[in-house]
Amino acid sequence: MSILIDEKTTVVVQGITGNEGMFHTRQMVEYGTKVVAGVTPGKGGQKIDGVPVFNTVGEAAAKTGANASAIFVPPAFAADAILEAADSDISLIVCLTEGIPTLEMVTVRAYLREKGVNLIGPNTPGIISPGKCKIGVMAGYIHLPGTIGIISRSGTLTYEVVDQLTKKGIGQSTCVGIGGDQIIGLNFVDLLTMYERDPGTEAVIIIGEIGGTAEEEAAQFVQEHVHKPVLAFIAGLTAPSGRRMGHAGAIIAGGKGTAKEKMEVLGKAGVKVVKNPALIGEELERILKAVR
């Protein structure tokens, strides 16, 4: 099993005629994702690799039944693209775009809450249920179908962790990049809730980083509601205060949001905290042996 996406998921790609959109549509189709439609306003009627292009998401959804969206739209137009997808009752929106103004996301989040729509990202590598469906830019082949859930604020660091697992023959149920921005859609707690309920997920890895309090909220949730083993790595133990470390959301502000603090809170909540990023696979293997 998996969460959020599987072999039944049908995808509309917003911004399909752009370079990124076109390239990753091809990659997703090659992986086996059912990309049923694309959207670029003004380019309706065209086809990209056999995928029909529509002018609006509403039209694409009505004609193809797409239930998920992947957004490859430049930052200035991406918030609008999310709102359009939500307006068209797409149930899962994955926004890959990096650089959306934070205050735009404030409005977007309020509307998504009203519509009850799930958003992954923005500024995310996407989501993958190995062997079933991939909506995103991650290299599909490093993944292996299995029972580990991964939730991460990062991109390549997630690939690193997935690679460590796959090389040990440990597969993944679903891997979700929740995004590196300050304001994002689904967070650690939302996804932990889904993994806890998913019979196909045996254990969960959290890959957090400096900035904000999402990891602290996750810690409290794990303590109160999660029975499956949870392992965490927090990047940025050596990051200086007050500097934005690449991701818009990765900043220690006013001495708050340090990796040390997050590790302590997670550890107290019963989460296995791994300090060495090279040993995440080994630690998880140990945990699995103990519970199996």
CA distance 178 to 197: 19
Shortest distance, CB of residue 217 to another protein, whole angstroms? 7
In this complex, which beta carbon is closest to another protein, that of residue 109 or of residue 228?
109
User: Catalytic site residue 247?
Assistant: yes
Interface residue list for another protein (CB under 8 A): 27, 75-76, 99-103, 105-107, 109-110, 125, 137-139, 141-142, 152-160, 163, 180, 182-183, 207, 209-210, 212-214, 217, 233, 235-240, 242-250, 254-256, 259, 275-279
CA distance 193 to 201: 11
Shortest distance, CB of residue 140 to another protein, whole angstroms? 9
- Find residue 136's DSSP bridge partners: 126
DSSP helix/strand/coil, 234 = strand
Please give the order of strands across the beta sheet that includes 68-71: 47-48, 51-54, 34-39, 10-14, 68-71, 92-95, 118-120
Distances (CA, A) of 275 to 108, 162, 282: 35, 17, 12
Spatial contact of 40 and 72, defined as CB atoms under 8 Å apart: no
Shortest distance, CB of residue 182 to another protein, whole angstroms? 5
Query: Which of 175, 165, 76 has the alpha carbon at shortest distance from 120?
Result: 175
In this complex, which beta carbon is closest to another protein, that of residue 52 or of residue 122?
122
Spatial contact of 123 and 104, defined as CB atoms under 8 Å apart: no
Which one of the listed residues 24, 225, 227, 247 is annotated catalytic? 247
Shortest distance, CB of residue 59 to another protein, whole angstroms? 28
Catalytic machinery residues:
247
